[in-house]
Amino acid sequence: DLKFADSIARLGTESAFVVLARAQALAAQGRDIINLGIGQPDFRTPDHIVEAGIKALRDGHHGYTPANGIPALREAVAADLHRRHGAEVNPDNVVVVPGGKPTMFFAVLMFGQPGVEIMYPNPGFPIYESVIKYSGATPVPIALEEKHGFAFSADAVLSQITDKTRLIIINSPANPTGGVTPKVEIDKLVKGLLDHPHVALMSDEIYSQMLYGGREHVSLLNYPGIRDRLIMLDGWSKTYAMTGWRLGYAVWPDSMVDAVTRLCINDHSCVNAATQYAGIAALTGPQDAVHDMVAQFNERRQVIVRELNSLPGVRCADAAGAFYAFPNIEGTGMTSKQAQDRFLEEAGVATVAGTSFGAWGEGYLRFSYANSTDNILEAIRRIRAIL
C-alpha cells in the first residue's frame, strides 16, 4: 500500500496536452483533425539556429555547463533585453532553465508554503494555479474579464494584497486570452506595490514579441522601483519556434539568484549544452524569421477573430497578443467542455475549454491560431455546420 504525499494530489495539469493526445489518437484512426488546441508555433526552428545546435554537438559540447547557463548565453540574453526593452540587465542575474515552466515552478517554490497567499491570473496559464497548490500556498485568483479586453486591473490586484501575500504572478500578453495589459495599469500596479515591500512579482513575458495592432510590449524590467523583487520570465519556445528544445530564462533579483541556482542544481543540473548554443544563435543571429512569423500570426488573427464573430452564439474580443483567440460561446447553449468535446469528436477540430485555464474560463473556448489560414477557415466551416 503506497501512500503518496498529499502535495502530489494537489498538483494540476495542462489540459492542452490531454486534448493533443486525444487529437493524435483520432488522427491515428484516420480522422482528419485540425489542431487549434496546442500552444506552439506551427513553424520550424529557423535553420541557422538548428545548425548552431548541430555544430555544438560536433564541436564536442557534450558535458555539463554552469547550472545557471553558459556565460555567453547569459550575456546574449542581457544584450537582447537591452536591444528590445532598453533595460540594463547584469548577465549574473540571468538564470537559464529548460523552458518557461521551470521558472514559474521555482518562483513559487521560493515563496509558497502553507499560510501564505500567491496571486495568479484566472483564466490563466494552468501551471500557475497547479504549482501554487502544490506548494501548499493559498491561490488567490486575479479575475481577467472580457469587458476589459482580458487585461488585469491594478486595483483588483492591489485590493487583494494582505500581510500573507508573498508573490503576484502576471502575464501579458496572456495565455489563454490573448489579452494585453495597457501601460497605465502596469504603472499603477507598480506604484501600488511600492507600499507593499513584502510582495514579490513574477512577470511572465514569454509572448513579449507577439503583440498586434500597433501595440508595444511593456516589460516590467523597465520599472527600477521593483527590480529588487522582480522575476521576469521569457524564453525561446514561442519566439523562435523552439518548444521542443526546452530553453527559457528569467532575470532574478540579487537576493534570489543563489537560491534559484541551487534549485537548478537540485533539479536538472543544467540545460543541455547544444540547446544553449542554439539559443545563442537565436539571439545574436538575424531576427527576420521572428518578424515573418509574427506577421503571419497577425494575418491569421484577423481571419479567426472575424470568422468566430460570424458564428451563431459566438462573440470574440479582439485578440491583442500571443497566438490565441478566446471567444465567448455561452450563446451556443454549450458549456466550454461540451463545446470542446463536440468540436473535436464531431468536427475533428481541437480547441481547449476555457475551464482548463481556471474556473473563470467557463463560457469560453481557446483557439490557437498557430495553424494555416486554410486550416483555420476549414475549422470554422466545420464548427458552423455543427452550430
Q: Locate cell 520550424: which residue? A: 44
Indicate the residue among 250 and 304 with the shorter CB distance to ligand PLP: 250
**d(Cα 343, Cα 19) in Å, to the nearest integer?**
11
Is residue 123 a contact residue for ligand PLP (CB under 6 A)? no
Residue closer to ligand PLP, measured from CB, 111 or 128: 128
In the list 41, 100, 279, 321, the residue contacting ligand PLP (rule: CB under 6 A) is 100
Handedness of CA 332, 338, 340, 344 (dihedral sign): negative
Return the residues of window 22-61 that contact ligand PLP according to CB under 6 A: 39
* Binding flag, residue 171, ligand PLP (CB under 6 A): yes
Per CB under 6 A, 125 contacts ligand PLP = yes
The reply on whether position 208 binds ligand PLP by CB under 6 A is: no
- Give the interface segment with ligand PLP, choosing from 95-103, 254-262, 328-336, 365-373 (CB under 6 A): 95-103
Q: Which is nearer to ligand PLP, 107 or 383 (CB)?
A: 107
Which of 37, 41, 46, 99 lies at the binding interface for ligand PLP (CB under 6 A)? 99
The only residue of 68, 237, 296, 351 in contact with ligand PLP, by rule CB under 6 A: 237
Q: How many residues bind ligand PLP (CB under 6 A)?
A: 13
Answer yes or no whether residue 172 interacts with ligand PLP by CB under 6 A.
no
Answer whether 376's CB lies under 8 Å from 300's CB. Answer: yes
Q: Name residue 233's beta-bridge partners.
A: 204, 250
- Residue from 117, 204, 234, 307 in contact with ligand PLP (CB under 6 A): 204
Locate 174 and state its grid cell. Answer: 496572456
Considering beta carbons, is residue 234 or 307 the nearer one to ligand PLP? 234
For ligand PLP, the closer of residues 268 and 384 by Cβ is 268
Judge whether 93 and 251 are in contact, CB under 8 Å.
yes
Q: Is 121 in the site for ligand PLP (CB under 6 A)?
A: no
Which helix (H) or strand (E) covers residue 200, if one does?
strand 200-204
Pairwise CA distance, residues 194 & 230, whole Å: 12
The DSSP bridge partners found for residue 94 are 251
The reply to whether 205 sits near ligand PLP by the rule CB under 6 A is no
Q: Angle CA(337)–CA(243)–CA(251) in degrees, nearest 5? A: 105
CB of 215 to ligand PLP, least distance (A): 17
171 or 276: CB nearest ligand PLP: 171
74 or 311: CB nearest ligand PLP: 74
Give yes or no for residue 175 binding ligand PLP (CB under 6 A). yes
101 contributes a contact to ligand PLP by CB under 6 A: yes
Query: By CB under 6 A, is residue 358 in contact with ligand PLP?
Result: no
Name every residue whose Cβ is closer than 8 Å to that of residue 246 and which is 6 or more positions away in sequence. Answer: 98, 99, 271, 272, 275
Please give the Cα distance from 98 to 183 (Å, whole number).
Answer: 30
Helix, strand, coil % (nearest 5) of the chain?
45, 15, 40
- By CB under 6 A, residue 300 contacts ligand PLP: no
Cell of 347: 468536427
Task: Report the residue number, 41 or 348, with the smaller CB distance to ligand PLP.
Answer: 41
Nearest to 240 by CA among 34, 17, 35, 49: 49
Distances (CA, A) of 45 to 42, 113, 293, 302: 10, 39, 11, 24
CB of 238 or CB of 300, closer to ligand PLP: 238
Least distance to ligand PLP, CB of residue 32, Å: 25
Window of 3-11, 18-26, 153-161, 235-243 that interacts with ligand PLP by CB under 6 A: 235-243
In degrees rounded to 5, what are phi and psi of residue 5? Answer: -65, 145
Residue 248, interface with ligand PLP (CB under 6 A)?
A: yes
Q: Is 141 in the site for ligand PLP (CB under 6 A)?
A: no
Position 243 contacts ligand PLP (CB under 6 A): yes
DSSP string, 231-296: EEEEESTTTTT-TTT--EEEE--HHHHHHHHHHHHHHTSS--HHHHHHHHHHHHS--HHHHHHHHH
CB of 279 to ligand PLP, least distance (A): 12
Footprint of ligand PLP on this chain (CB under 6 A)? Answer: 39, 99-101, 125, 171, 175, 204, 206, 235, 237, 243, 248
